[in-house]
Amino acid sequence: MIPYTLRRLWQFVPTLAGVVLLVFFLFNWVGGDPAYLLAGKISNPEQIENIRRQLGVDESYPTQLGIFVKQIATADFGASWATNERVSDIFRTRLGPSLTVLVPLLLISTLLGMAAAMLVAYLRGSLTDRAVMIACTVGQSISILVYILIFQYLLAYRLGWFPVQGWGTTFGENLLRYSALAIIVGVAVSLAPDIRLYRTFLLDEIGQDYVRTARAKGMSEGRVMWVHVLRNAAIPIVTNVLLQLPGLLAGAFLIERFFGIPGIGREVILAVERSDFPVIKAVSVYVAIATMVVNLVADLLYRAIDPRVQLK
C-alpha cells in the first residue's frame, strides 16, 4: 500500500508539469494582453509598457515559466492583477462560502438519490420504476438556468420564502437563509442524473450471484437490500461523489453567480474575464492537485473495501 501510494504521488509531478505548460500556453496564446485591460480605454504606449513591466509579462517566456514553478513550490501566487488582493487571501475567504453550499448540496442529493434509487431498483420494471425514470429523463433535459429562474421567481420573489440572492456575515445565517434556495436548486438539478446512475449501480449488484444465494438461504429482503446490495453498491457511489467535488468547486459558478454567493466559481469567472493570470494559475494548480489526490483516495478506498482489487 505505501509503495503504491508513493509511486502514485511521484506520478503527480509529470501531470502537474503538463497542467502548468498547458495553462501557460493557453493563457499566452488565446488570452488577451492584461496590460491593455488594466490601462483602460485611454492609455499611451509608455503606460502599457510600465504595466507590463510591473506585472512581469515583459520577461521572456522561460523566465515567466520559472516564476510560475517557483510560485507553485512556495504556494504563493502573489497578488491579483485586477484587484491587488493576495491570491492566498482570495482563496481563504472564498472557500468557505463555496463549501457552505457544496457540502450540504452533495450530502442531501446523494442521500436522496440513494434512497430513491434503492426504491426504483427494488421495484425494477414496475410502473413506479418507469414513472420515476421518465420523470428523471424529463428533469435532466431541462437546463439548470430554467431551474434557477423558476425557483427564484416562485419561491423567492412571489412567495418570499427565501431571499432572491445575497450573503450574510455569520455562518448560520448564510447556511440557513442565503444558501437554502441555492442548495434546493442544486439538489433539484443533480437528483435526476444521480438517481439514474445509482439505479444502474444497484441493479448491477442485484444481478450478482451472491444476492441469489443470500435470498436462497432465506435471508430477509430487507437484509439483502440494505446490507449486502447497498454496501457493495456504495463503492461506486462514494467514488462518484468524491470525483465530483474538485470539478464542482470551480463548476458551481452558475449557482454562485445567480445567488450572489462569493465563492470560488464566481472568482474563477471574474479572473477569466479580467485576464487575471495569478488567480487562473492558482485555481488550475489547486484543482489539478485536488483532482489527483481525490483519484488516489478513491483508488485506495477501493482497495480498502474490496480486497480483490490489486493495485499495481
Query: Which spans of this chain sit near another protein (rule: CB under 8 A)?
Result: 14-15, 18-19, 22-23, 26, 30-32, 36-37, 246-247, 250-251, 253, 265, 268-269, 272-275, 280, 283-284, 287-288, 291-292
In this structure, the dihedral spanned by the alpha carbons of residues 288, 273, 38 and 78, taken in order and rounded to 10 degrees, is -20
Nearer to another protein, 237 or 264 (CB): 264
Nearer to another protein, 37 or 188 (CB): 37
Nearer to another protein, 52 or 274 (CB): 274
Cβ at position 295, least distance to another protein in Å: 9
Nearer to another protein, 191 or 288 (CB): 288
CA-based end-to-end distance of the chain: 10
Cβ at position 306, least distance to another protein in Å: 23
Cβ at position 45, least distance to another protein in Å: 17
Distance of CA 13 to the CA centre of its chain: 22
Cβ at position 33, least distance to another protein in Å: 9
Nearer to another protein, 98 or 232 (CB): 98
Alpha-carbon span 30 to 45, nearest angstrom: 22
What b/e string do you get for 6-21 counting C-beta neighbours within 10 Å, with b at 16 or more?
eebeeeeeeebeebbe
Alpha-carbon span 46 to 40, nearest angstrom: 13
* DSSP classification of residue 276: -
Cβ at position 231, least distance to another protein in Å: 29
Nearer to another protein, 37 or 300 (CB): 37
Greatest alpha-carbon pair distance for the chain in Å reads: 85
Cell numbers for 77, please give them: 501566487
Alpha-carbon span 185 to 142, nearest angstrom: 12
Cβ at position 268, least distance to another protein in Å: 6
